Structure 1
Amino acid sequence: MSTIAIIVAAGRGSRAGSATIPKQYADLGGVPMLTRTLEAFAGHPSIDHVMAVIHPNDMLRYQAAAQRVSGKLLPPAIGGASRQISVHNGLEALLSHNPSRVLIHDAARPFVTPALIDRVIAALATSPGALPALPVPDTLKRADAAGNVAGTVDRNGLWRAETPQGFRYPEILAAHRAAEASGRNEFTDDSSLAEWHGVTCALVNGEARNIKITSAEDLALAQQSFGRAAPSITDVRHGTGFDVHRFGAGDHVWLCGVSIPHTHALDGHSDADVGLHALTDALFGAIGDGDIGQHFPPSDMRWKGARSEIFLAEAVRRVTAAGYTIGNVDVTIICEAPRVGPHRDAMRREIARIIGIDVGRVGVKATTTETLGFTGRREGIAAMASATLIRRG
């Protein structure tokens, strides 16, 4: 089965603050943003080819951006007046290749990770479409015509869509053709168009770091994250977190995003993952932004039984919005049982996936209290965590 990635890069990007160059060609650490995005897909072992859809005026810029990308690149397609038209043009340009699957990704999302691409491709084994997304953590308000608050929107069940969105090629091509034939041109992403055409899209876990660079502020944060030539570290922050949960009835515990069989479960309003809770507080603390109880109060039934990766992803989003990147994190689990060692690498991978950093920057350790105290009596589990944040200038 062949897989081709379409990188949508035909927009003008005026909101990113540059009047002379579209945002997808802005400099990120010495290379164009589009180069970063193309490399993410061209370097992935499950992607057979990559094709950009570009503005007709950008051919020279595109050729410069594509110079250092691997041989998987196909000739670019030419975009249209809207994103929907641009994607349709790209899909039609792939007819001679007839791929089994296509991944459609915004050029302005250069932080996409191999793990996210893996999840989208894997979902297409059982679903004709796959949408990476994150639960909406913020309170949503509806405004009236005068710009005043007119009401609160129930955020239960609401998800924030990301790309790459994956599809089986025949289904998404048919959906785009049907939309064009019906005169429907208002779709802002391909999952919306697919939904209209009756193509089922499975939700897969997105990543907080996979932001779409839209505003001048977004661009400045991305430039800080990738670093410019000879970057200088201007600010380093350090935060710590600590959490405890007692044992209750159950047959498994959640630790650092991994379900581990055990004689008991941990009691808590959410999934009681002490490792992720401690790490979430470490990130909040490093930027002076309260704690997990403030942002996700246990009195709020929306978080009843919630996966703790939602909390950690929100902390990462706030760290990024504050202008910092995560240098490294370290978690220590304190308990007599269950044994953490056999699950350590899985825990490190889960944390790396959620916060969007290399697994080599994630530490997970375990210790006991030599049978002393509540953990020694096997009444519960405690966790400590630390995080280092870096701002570059």
Structure 2
Amino acid sequence: MKTAAIIVAAGKGIRAGSPTPKQYQSIAGRPVLAWSVERFLARSDIDAVLCVIADGAEALYRTAVSDLKNKKLLPPCTGGATRQASVHNGLKALAGQGFTHVLVHDAARPGLDDDTLDRLTAALETQDGALAALPVNDTLKAGDEADQITKTVDRTGLWAAQTPQAFAFDRLLAAHKQFANTEVTDDAALAELAGIEVRLVPGTVRNMKITRPEDFAIVERLLMETTYEFRTGHGYDVHAFEPGDHVILCGVKIPHTAKLKGHSDADAGMHALTDALFGAIGLGDIGDHFPPSDPQWKGAASEVFLKKAVSEVIARGGTITHCDITLICENPKIGPHRNAMRNALAEIMNVAPDRISVKATTTEKLGFTGREEGLAAMATATVRLPETL
């Protein structure tokens, strides 16, 4: 499966009571849209995230997602006059890129949780449509224009639809094309018209949609039921020099009078950082995951190890908030290459360069590094992990 998420954020949100659309207003300290986007970016089973925004909302969008530096977040596309048209625009923007499945989510539902996403993706393994929903528990009344009750509606078998709504990509795109002139309120209704069977999977109250001004306080309380803890891991690595003409440090090739000796490419900086990330989530060290006795890792690029550590953080719903690497050597000189190292690590880890620090120091000619027999690297990594109360 290759899965994309479309986040519909093109509405004006007039009923929310502010001239600023609700998806760009702040809740629990961040824009509503940022909560929704981050949930999908943190998923290893989501390959791309596309926001559909209103024409002229580019500045609001950039501000809302400014701290979400991730290659999976695609440039936004412009929405249409209706929600249906906006989803169709998003599907057309993703067409031809090999996506097999798509999840469509309302930006104004910032409380989406991983369990709901797990249920949806599991349903897609056996059929072409699924939506998150809650069974209707309240007694339903039908009323007339004078707000007088006309009848009681049987609630048996009734569900309140939420998002995400998940589909086989090609089938949903075909349905949008076929029924472009038939107005519906959600993609599941369009799927019904196209004959796509849609499975109901349990949603959560936490995933309620912000519609009116009072909803912000309710959703904020629900969001705060999930708190976050910060963990810090530490890594340390040493490699000796041997004859050669360059070293690789933090993913950057640096000319030198020797190279670093090791089973892989001996990138001490990246090894230390990998250990720091594994340590932060209590997952052992680099040797546990990539034993030096295993010949498949001989000469391997160390970014393979770092990407594994990053994926383990993401799999736990975590976010890498900061990394700090110190390289200890007399030579080569690190300063001229520091920014290239930060950019290389940022690219591998899908984080902003300003979340990565690379420093260097010497041991004042003391010890094995002072004698230029090798070099050492230390790293710390801080990650934010969800802690559900």
TM exceeds 0.5?
yes
* Aligned counterpart, 2:200: 203
Number of residue pairs aligned between Structure 1 and Structure 2: 227
Q: Is the 8 A contact 1:105 1:165 kept in 2?
A: yes
Distance 2:200 2:388 in 1: 28
Distance 2:171 2:21 in 1: 31
Offset at residue 120 of structure 1 (A): 0.5
TM-score between both structures, scaled by the size of structure 1: 0.56
Distance 1:223 1:132 in 2: 21
Distance 1:54 1:84 in 2: 13
Q: CA 1:10–1:224 in 2, change beyond 3 Å: closer, same or farther?
A: same
Residues 292-345 of structure 1 deviation map (CA, whole Å, 9 limit, x = unaligned): xxxxxxxxxxxxxxxxxxxxxxxxxxxxxxxxxxxxxxxxxxxxxxxxxxxxxx
Q: SS of 1:162's equivalent?
A: strand
Q: SS of 2:184's equivalent?
A: coil
Amino acid aligned to 1:113: D
Amino acid aligned to 1:71: K
Offset at residue 177 of structure 1 (A): 0.2
Q: Counterparts in 2 of 1:84-95, with a 5 A limit?
A: 84-95=84-95
Amino acid aligned to 1:115: D
Offset at residue 2 of structure 1 (A): 0.6
Q: CA 1:111–1:360 in 2, change beyond 3 Å: closer, same or farther?
A: closer
Offset at residue 84 of structure 1 (A): 0.2
* Aligned counterpart, 1:79: 79
Structure 1 residues not aligned, in runs of 5+ = 228-357, 362-393
Q: Counterparts in 2 of 1:148-163, with a 5 A limit?
A: 148-163=148-163
* Aligned counterpart, 2:61: 62
Offset at residue 224 of structure 1 (A): 4.5
Q: SS of 1:126's equivalent?
A: coil
Amino acid aligned to 2:7: I
Offset at residue 119 of structure 1 (A): 0.8
Q: SS of 1:75's equivalent?
A: coil
Offset at residue 170 of structure 1 (A): 0.5
Q: Is the 8 A contact 1:130 1:167 kept in 2?
A: yes
* Aligned counterpart, 2:29: 30
Amino acid aligned to 1:142: A
* Aligned counterpart, 1:216: 213
Q: Counterparts in 2 of 1:302-313, with a 5 A limit?
A: none
Q: SS of 1:147's equivalent?
A: coil
* Aligned counterpart, 1:189: 186
Distance 1:11 1:129 in 2: 24
Q: CA 1:359–1:35 in 2, change beyond 3 Å: closer, same or farther?
A: closer
* Aligned counterpart, 2:40: 41
Offset at residue 7 of structure 1 (A): 0.2
Q: Is the 8 A contact 1:16 1:23 kept in 2?
A: yes
Q: SS of 2:45's equivalent?
A: coil
Q: Is the 8 A contact 1:141 1:149 kept in 2?
A: yes
Q: CA 1:17–1:360 in 2, change beyond 3 Å: closer, same or farther?
A: closer
1:175 partnered with 2:175: yes
Amino acid aligned to 1:202: R
Q: CA 1:158–1:122 in 2, change beyond 3 Å: closer, same or farther?
A: same
Q: CA 1:226–1:155 in 2, change beyond 3 Å: closer, same or farther?
A: closer
Distance 1:45 1:14 in 2: 35
Distance 2:150 2:7 in 1: 38
* Aligned counterpart, 2:133: 133
Q: SS of 1:4's equivalent?
A: strand
Q: Is the 8 A contact 1:132 1:164 kept in 2?
A: yes
Amino acid aligned to 1:6: I
Offset at residue 359 of structure 1 (A): 7.0
Residues 360-381 of structure 1 deviation map (CA, whole Å, 9 limit, x = unaligned): 53xxxxxxxxxxxxxxxxxxxx
Q: CA 1:73–1:359 in 2, change beyond 3 Å: closer, same or farther?
A: closer
Distance 2:157 2:28 in 1: 37
Offset at residue 226 of structure 1 (A): 4.7
Distance 2:39 2:47 in 1: 13
Q: SS of 2:216's equivalent?
A: helix
Offset at residue 30 of structure 1 (A): 2.2
Q: Is the 8 A contact 1:27 1:223 kept in 2?
A: no
Q: Counterparts in 2 of 1:1-393, with a 5 A limit?
A: 1-19=1-19, 21-69=20-68, 70-180=70-180, 183-184=181-182, 186-226=183-223, 360-361=388-389
Offset at residue 225 of structure 1 (A): 4.6
Offset at residue 220 of structure 1 (A): 2.6
Root-mean-square deviation (Å) = 1.4
4+ long deviations beyond 2 Å: 220-227, 358-361
Amino acid aligned to 2:59: L
Offset at residue 96 of structure 1 (A): 2.9
Q: SS of 2:146's equivalent?
A: coil
Q: Is the 8 A contact 1:98 1:169 kept in 2?
A: no
Distance 1:193 1:134 in 2: 19
Q: CA 1:134–1:119 in 2, change beyond 3 Å: closer, same or farther?
A: same
Offset at residue 197 of structure 1 (A): 1.0
Residues 99-133 of structure 1 deviation map (CA, whole Å, 9 limit, x = unaligned): 01000000000000011111111101111000111
Amino acid aligned to 2:95: L
Q: Is the 8 A contact 2:206 2:222 kept in 1?
A: no
Structure 2 residues not aligned, in runs of 5+ = 225-385
Structure whose alpha-carbon radius of gyration is higher: 2
Q: SS of 2:86's equivalent?
A: helix
